[in-house]
């Protein structure tokens, strides 16, 4: 039987990054991947959506070019060509990971893996007809879209009328009417794309706000922007059933129906642990997710988990870090994930990016903190490039120590700026320290520095 120092189950961002680090650290490593390297992120998540959204952004710019003294008559978007390009981008990146695995001497088996048990050779995993043994086991099997038992929903997914993030990315035509169930990250990004390319989009969200835990002042600006662009938001609405060419919902005690050509279900994801054989080695799960500590350890010595499968913070960049933290600990270099300073981004147009405490979380935790918002119009570059833009940056500091607890932005480039704010939060930087740093001019990030002078 082939034996390894490490068997990684799942080749998404947590798994492939961990495998790279393990191989660099001298571990003989095997990755078992049931579908394609890159996982959801590369194949049906982060990268494909960003490819689509970039095409939509170009199209939006063309449609609004006259505001900037430029005219493109008859700008058109070819959704089929956009989807084809997405396929090429994905293929290139997935190929790149395969090449890296090869270069580093990581073996990759394309089969679904099942944990059989443990003996003196290590943890036994079956993939296809072959059994492998690993001294250590890292589980990175990710997550799948939740499809709750709403009457008619599962049948609609089976018939293709309702889709998850996976299927909608390959849809070759633009629906005239699209209903999105769930106004979270996936729902908003896809609603943004289909709104740009001409669909009549309705978002049904059960909460009274969109974008989940995003700072409410920021999510309200996003809501205003997208209402203006023509998306219909039904907030505080409960989906009661999915019918023939419609989604039925209850709003303010009344039964209503939203007719549509297709439905996107984006109401969260659940950890992928079914059928893995976790019970054969006694790995503890909680609500279907593997329980880990901040070093990536499970309750079983030698078994680790990273990425969405731990149900903590389902983001690809969290998964990368969790994978490498687990490997560092395997190699005897103590390391932990600092969850409190992990940034998040919603790639709408305008973009939303956040890190740390929000206006709501400081109240809930009773923190003695100050939250102040600043218009991005303090930035000359923002004004030059955003006709009618209403972006802000909101900064949250600790009143006594004056260290930065949170930064939230809505406005383009926010996705590229937020890592700097994440460093401020991670390093518990004080307002006075950041004021002494020089930010490039003219940029949108200058508003953070300007804001700190007013706090
Ligand atoms: P989500 O958790 O972001 O949002 C789900 C939304 O659906 C919530 O607002 C919730 O209140 C609502 N909801 C739940 N049940 C409902 C029902 N029956 N009717 C109406 N609304 C309902 O989940 P989403 O958007 O599916 O994304 C899944 C995961 O993927 C998230 O963890 C997210 O962080 C990650 N992701 C991250 C991206 C990014 O970082 N840019 C992009 C896409 C996904």
Blockwise average pLDDT, block size 10, the chain, 455 residues: 96 98 98 96 96 97 95 92 97 97 98 97 97 98 96 96 95 96 98 98 98 98 98 98 96 97 97 97 97 98 98 97 98 97 98 98 98 98 96 98 98 97 98 97 98 97
Q: Which two tokens stand for residue 375?
A: 């218009």
302 ligand 1 Cβ < 6 A: no
Helix (H) or strand (E) holding 402: none
Residues annotated as catalytic are 441
For tokens 């890190």, the residue is 355
Distance 287 CA to ligand 1 centre (A): 17
Strands (E), 187-288: 200-205, 232-235, 238-243, 246-251, 254-259, 262-265, 269-271, 285-286
Do residues 20 and 104 make contact, with C-beta atoms less than 8 angstroms apart? yes
3-state secondary structure of 183: coil
What is the 33 CA–ligand 1 centroid distance (Å)?
A: 25
CB distance 239 to ligand 1 below 6 Å: yes
pLDDT tens digits, 384-427: 999 999 999 999 999 999 999 999 999 999 999 999 999 999 99
Tell how far the Cα of 219 is from the centroid of ligand 1, in angstroms. Answer: 14
pTM of the model: 0.96
- Give the residue whose CA is nearest to atom 40 of ligand 1: 345
Task: Determine the number of helices (DSSP H) and then strands (DSSP E) in the chain.
Answer: 14, 24
Q: Is the CB of 267 under 6 A from ligand 1?
A: yes
Chain segment 342-388, per-residue pLDDT in tens: 999 999 999 999 999 999 999 999 999 999 999 999 999 999 999 99
Indicate which residue's Cα is closest to atom 9 of ligand 1: 184
Is residue 204 lining ligand 1, measured as CB closer than 6 Å? yes
Distance CA 153, CA 91 (A): 31
Q: 183, 186, 202: which to mutate for ligand 1, most atoms within 8 A of CB?
A: 186
Residue 454 CA to ligand 1 center (angstroms) comes to 35
């Amino acid at each position: 039987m082939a034996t390894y120092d490490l068997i990684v189950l799942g080749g998404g961002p947590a798994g492939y990054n961990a495998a790279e680090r393990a191989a660099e650290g001298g571990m003989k490593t095997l990755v078992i991947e049931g579908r394609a390297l890159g996982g959801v992120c590369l194949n049906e998540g982060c990268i494909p959506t960003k490819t689509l959204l970039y095409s939509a952004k170009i199209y939006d710019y063309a449609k609004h070019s006259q505001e900037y003294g430029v005219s493109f008559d008859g700008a058109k978007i070819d959704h089929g060509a956009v989807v084809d390009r997405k396929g090429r981008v994905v293929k290139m990146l997935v190929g790149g990971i395969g090449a890296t695995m090869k270069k580093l001497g990581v073996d990759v088996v394309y089969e679904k893996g099942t944990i059989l048990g443990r003996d003196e050779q290590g943890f036994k995993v079956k993939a296809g007809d072959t059994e492998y043994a690993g001294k250590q086991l890292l589980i990175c099997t990710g997550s799948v879209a939740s499809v709750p038992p709403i009457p008619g929903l599962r049948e609609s997914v089976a018939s293709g009328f309702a889709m998850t993030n996976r299927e909608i990315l390959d849809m070759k035509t633009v629906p005239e009417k699209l209903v999105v169930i769930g106004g979270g990250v996936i729902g908003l990004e896809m609603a943004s794309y289909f709104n740009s390319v001409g669909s009549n989009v309705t978002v049904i969200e059960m909460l009274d706000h969109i974008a989940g835990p995003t700072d409410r002042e920021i999510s309200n600006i996003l809501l205003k922007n997208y209402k203006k662009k023509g998306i219909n938001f039904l907030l505080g609405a409960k989906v009661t059933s999915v019918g023939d060419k419609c989604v039925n919902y209850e709003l303010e005690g009344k039964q209503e129906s939203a007719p549509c050509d297709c439905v996107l279900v984006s109401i969260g994801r659940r950890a992928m642990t079914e059928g893995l054989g976790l019970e054969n080695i006694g790995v503890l799960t909680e609500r279907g997710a593997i329980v880990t500590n901040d070093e990536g350890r499970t309750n079983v010595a030698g078994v680790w988990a990273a990425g969405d499968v731990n149900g903590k913070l389902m983001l690809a960049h969290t998964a990368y870090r969790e994978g490498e933290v687990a490997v560092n600990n395997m190699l005897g270099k103590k390391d932990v994930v600092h969850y409190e300073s992990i940034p998040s981004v919603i790639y709408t147009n305008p973009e939303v990016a956040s890190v740390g405490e929000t206006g709501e979380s400081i109240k809930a935790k009773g923190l003695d903190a100050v939250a102040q918002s600043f218009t991005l119009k303090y930035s000359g570059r923002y004004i030059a490039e955003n006709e009618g833009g209403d972006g802000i940056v909101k900064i949250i500091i600790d009143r006594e120590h004056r260290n930065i607890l949170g930064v939230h932005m809505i406005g383009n480039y926010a996705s590229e700026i937020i890592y700097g704010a994440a460093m401020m939060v991670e390093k518990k930087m004080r307002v006075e320290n950041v004021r002494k740093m020089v930010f490039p001019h003219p940029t949108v990030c200058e508003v953070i520095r300007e804001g700190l002078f007013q706090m």
